[in-house]
Structure formats: structure tokens, C-alpha cells
Amino acid sequence: MTKLEPLRFNPGGTVGRPGVTAADLAALAPRLDEIRAEMLGTDLQLFAGNGTIPPEKQPLDAGFLELPERMLDPYLTTRKESELFRILRTAQELQAKVDRLVVLGIGGSYMGARAIIECCCDPFVNELPAGERGGRPKVYFAGYNVDNDSTRGLLHLLRATNRPNDPHSRWGMIVISKSGGTLETAAALRQFINAWIETYGREQLGEFLIPITGTSGKLASLADAIGCPVRFPVPEGVGGRFSVLSAVGLLPAAAMGVDVVKLLEGAAAMNDHFRLASPGENTVLDYVAVNHLAERNLGCQTRVLSAWSNALESAGLWYDQLLAESLGKKELGALPLTVVNTRDLHSRAQQHQEGRRDKLVNNLIVDHYRHDPLPVGRTGWNQDGLDDLAQRTLPELMAAAIRGTNDAYREAGRPTTDLHLPAADEASLGQLFQMLMLTTVVEGRLLGINPYGQPGVEAYKLHMNRYLRQGL
């Protein structure tokens, strides 16, 4: 495995405030160490079936902890017998036979895949000609809402861009649902199946529909009935919002040309760091400590993830779900909020600067860009007064905005931290995914909350189905 540039956490001006001092962090360190040992020891043993899981730990969906290694190790040894090899082969087959790919899923069944693609692919990949996309398909997401016009719009687009005499213009589907019973995704799947049959006929549907689901359930039964030759599992013991590094996130990403091996290597490197680094040098434990103390002692109940890159907005929304569903229990848990800067400095920053003092801003900063820096440049006119900045580049403008915003928040007594992503690429994103999943479980244990399961989500489903069955 190539040595990776590590993701870095800087607590910034948050440490040193009353309640979040070096002494407070040191006092919390032994408990964090205990939680880490419990996660890597007792939790994994119970998850493996060695003992009875106590009621307060049920469900214990600890499978995400070792998922990067479970995906990578067989690929690096037996290769062709591994699930990861099958994912990569299926991704290549999709690239060869479809030029549009619809990913159907809701919550953790689509948010991770979307975050990977938006971070690691060209930001306008769908607008590029096929040659500029390297033959990879355009990608669309559906099944995450019951919005009538949005669904009709995508169905219309798929029909309007079909070329009847070109077999390579077909579109395909990846549908992701562990049970197949989630109404939003199940309803959308019916609509997109019908549209596919209307366009191409029934015979080959199974070859263009790839389910990612449980070993049994409604979607598994449907895949059997249709005759889908290729399908992938949602791993047992891995909850939806923790499933991004399984086929759930990897297959759609690989179909778009993302190097998912590097993604997994980044996550595995974060696991090693979590296991070995001491508090004070451990990104996972230090992030939890600072955020937890800021919430408990400073009243920072709103946790702002301030992404300084458009490419990371969907990663922030993925984290919103992870944090909200995992820790929003027993009337506890910080409120997650993702913003993208500098865009949202012109909308939310006023409140962050002078509103209620209930926010901690965690800056998510990309250190290195994929492309050469773009200068402001000259046009021959200077009505905007920017000629003196003509040689400055967009990365320099972004760096100045980050420093200036942190200075303004510090002067106003607003706490911030900095989380440095080496680049908006696969290896860095893999580290970030695994780090945030680990921090969420550690903090749940610290709060006395089971971070797995989402019983509150089931309430709306029951009422929704009651209204639909009984009539509105």
C-alpha cells in the first residue's frame, strides 16, 4: 500500500477556552481510550458472535469497523475471487453497455455514492461528450424522494436522449435497498422499470438492472423474478449510513471511473491511525474530544461542517445524516449543518458571526487542488478594481478567505477548528469517511447512546403507510 498523506485536525482557537482547555482534554483522554479499546475489542468480539450482546448495544452494527480491510485483503491476495474484483468488473461492463446510469436509493443507500462521485469526478461530468468522459456514463440519482416533477423530468430526459439505432445509448440502473421495502425507492424502481420496458422491451431488463440488497427480502425476490444475473450484497451488520465503503458506494463510483482501491486504502490507513495513535495525536479521538467539550461546556449544540470546496458539499450532507441518525436520540446529539464556502459566507455567515452562540464551526479544507491554479487575470477593463490582484489565483483567494473568516470568528469569540484534507481525491476521501464514522461511534459511546439503529425514522413510515392504505 502506498504511503498516504494523512488527514490533519487542528483544534484552532477552540482549545484554550474555559471548558475546552488542555487540562479538560487530558481529563477526557482516559475515557476515550476505554471507548476505543471497547470498539476494537469487545464490540468486534460480540459482533462476531462471541458472547451475548447486551440490550443497550442492540443493534450492534459494528461491521463497518473492519470493512475496508475485508474489501481490500481478498482483492490483494485471491483477486479474481474477491467481491472488489467483481465490483470492478461489473463497473467496466456497465461502462461498455450504458451511456446513462440511474442510481436508485435513499439515505445511506445513495448519499455516500453521490459524495464520492461529486468529490472525485469532474464537476460537470454529465455535460461532457462521451470521449471527454472516457466512455463513462452520465450518472443520475433518483428514488430518494417522492417529488413528482423531478421524477417525471428524469424519465423524460432518459427517453428524449435515447437513440433507437445505437445499442450503446441504452441506460441502466443500480438499485440499492437492503430490504427493498423502503417506499420511496420501491416506487421509483417500478416507474424506471416500466420506462425501461417501454423503451427496450422486457427480455434484457435483468442485464441492465443491478440490485445491491440483502440476501433475502422484497428486492432480492424481485431480482430473482426478473432474472438479474449480477447482484451485490449490503453487508450484514453494516447500517445504511455506514455502508459507503461496501458495494453500496463502491459500484456506482467505480462505474464512473473512481479509483475505489485508493478510497479503501485511505479508509484502512485511518483505521491504523485510530488503533495506534495516542490521544493528542489521534485525529479521531481529538476531533471527538474538542467537539464534545464544546457542546457540553460551551453550549455549541449546532455543529457546522464548513466545506471550503464545492466538491465536498455532498460529503457534508452524507455526514449530516450520519451524525443526525446516530446521535439524535434521548434528546441528545448536536444538530449537524453543512455549508459551502465562500458561497455561504453570503448567506449564513451573518448568523454564525453575530447570532446565537450555539455553534462550533469545523472547517473542512482542501490543501491541494487537482488542477493548475487559475489566475484572476486581466480583461483590459478595470472598473472592478481588480488589476492589482490580476496575478493572484483562485487557490490564493480561497486561502485568504479561510484565514479572514477564521480571524473574524475569533475576534467575535466564535469557536472554529480546521480539518485538512490533503486533496479532493479518493485516498483523502477514504480517510475522511472512515474518520467521521469512527468519531460518530466514539461520541455515541461517550454520550451513552447506541450510535447504531434509527428507531425514530420508522415513525413517519408507519403513519405514511397508514394514510396511503386508508386513503388521504
Q: Which fold has domain 64-258?
A: Rossmann fold (3.40.50)
Q: pLDDT exceeding 70 applies to what percent of the chain?
A: 99
377: CB partners within 8 A, 6+ apart:
390
pLDDT, residue 3, reads 77
pLDDT tens string 390-442: 999 999 999 999 999 999 999 999 999 999 999 999 999 999 999 999 999 99
Under a CB-based contact definition with an 8 Å cutoff, are residues 328 and 272 in contact? no
pLDDT, residue 264, reads 98
Across the strands, what pairs with 393?
Answer: 375
Residue 472 — very low, low, confident or very high, per pLDDT cuts 50/70/90? low
Residue 166 — very low, low, confident or very high, per pLDDT cuts 50/70/90? confident
Mean pLDDT computed over every residue of the chain: 95
Element (H, E) at 171: strand 171-176
Q: Distance (Å, rounded) from C-alpha 131 to C-alpha 242?
A: 34
Higher local confidence (pLDDT), 420 or 164: 420
pLDDT, residue 253, reads 98
Domain ranges of the chain: 8-58+266-447, 64-258
CATH code of the domain occupying 8-58+266-447: 3.40.50.10490
Beta strands, E only, 12-87: none
Quick one: average pLDDT of 180-201?
96
The DSSP secondary-structure symbol of 172 reads E
The yes-or-no answer to whether 8-58+266-447 and 64-258 have a common fold is yes
Higher local confidence (pLDDT), 460 or 148: 148
Q: Which of 168, 368, 461, 463 is catalytic?
A: 461
Across the strands, what pairs with 100?
Answer: 138, 171
pLDDT tens string 454-463: 887 777 878 8
pLDDT, residue 1, reads 56
Q: Phi and psi dihedrals of 194, rounded to 5?
A: -60, -40
Residue 2 — very low, low, confident or very high, per pLDDT cuts 50/70/90? low
pLDDT, residue 461, reads 78
Report field, pTM of the whole predicted structure over 0.85? yes
Is the pLDDT confidence value at 33 over 60?
yes
Q: Which of 184, 295, 325, 443 is catalytic?
A: 325
Q: Which of 80, 346, 371, 411 is catalytic?
A: 346
Residue with cell 481588480: 386
Task: Read off the C-alpha cell for 43.
Answer: 464490540
Quick one: average pLDDT of 173-201?
96
Quick one: average pLDDT of 125-129?
95
Q: Is 346 a catalytic residue?
A: yes
Quick one: average pLDDT of 221-238?
96
Residue 86 — very low, low, confident or very high, per pLDDT cuts 50/70/90? very high
Nearest of 347, 327, 341, 343 to residue 447 by alpha carbon: 327
Quick one: average pLDDT of 373-381?
97
Give the least confident one: 132-141, 161-170, 281-290: 161-170
Q: Distance (Å, rounded) from C-alpha 114 to C-alpha 244?
A: 10
